[in-house]
Structure 1
């Protein structure tokens, strides 16, 4: 099971780095929220819209470490990736991002319920 969860986490990071909103749309739960390192809680539709418009652009995501822990009816995934992005015209920067996400199986499919991003 952990391999399936790891694959989901990795697919999320690949899709994010490719600005692939079609794949992200499939991976994210309808009520998904992304809490950015600034503390801003962004709704799913707003984040995907920013990716589509290019106001948030991700260029790469290199995994340093990831753990998966079973929690209640889902899994907690905590991963550290070095992410290169341009956020709201900031120019390309690299951030060491810690992503703490919850994953659940919904109607037979794994979905990311939410993610909190900080630096490490």
Structure 2
């Protein structure tokens, strides 16, 4: 049986793999309906807005390297803080980005989904 911590970590890693693979169906299922993403420029988007940008190659993730992940669980809410290095083309700028990702997760029906993601650089 998978622990809550393992399920959250798996969701997080699956999100990043889905970004690289452009698997938007998988990505959609890993996120709550009300999911929001705040980008490194401070702009916050709904799940649909973000996925549309991904589908139209405005945000293209080529690879991720995982560095550090910390998870805190409080009942049916959890916070994950992770650091990754990403080779990505964001709004036409291709480079290696060092990203600090803070996500809030909610557990419903025995399943963890990300409800909010805030991305900054480190």
- Range of TM-score over shorter length: over 0.9
Q: Counterparts of 1:118 and 1:103 in 2: how far apart (Å)? A: 18
Q: CA deviation at 1:41?
A: 0.3
CA shift digits 1:65-117 (9 cap, x unpaired): 00111135311000000011111222x21111000001111233211000000
Q: Structure 2: which 5+ residue stretches go unaligned? A: none
Aligned to 1:87: 90
Q: Counterparts of 2:61 and 2:20 in 1: how far apart (Å)? A: 5
Q: Identify the range of structure 1 (11-20 vs 33-42) with the bigger mean alpha-carbon deviation.
A: 11-20
Aligned to 2:115: 113
Q: Counterparts of 1:17 and 1:36 in 2: how far apart (Å)? A: 17
Q: Number of residues paired by the alignment?
A: 119
Give the superposed CA RMSD: 1.2
Aligned to 1:67: 70
Aligned to 1:77: 80
TM-score for both structures, normalised by structure 2: 0.91
Kindly report structure 1 stretches of 4+ aligned residues shifted beyond 4 Å: none
Q: Structure 1: which 5+ residue stretches go unaligned? A: none
TM-score for both structures, normalised by structure 1: 0.93
The partner residue of 2:52 within 45, 49, 54 is: 49
Q: Identify the range of structure 1 (56-65 vs 102-111) with the bigger mean alpha-carbon deviation.
A: 102-111
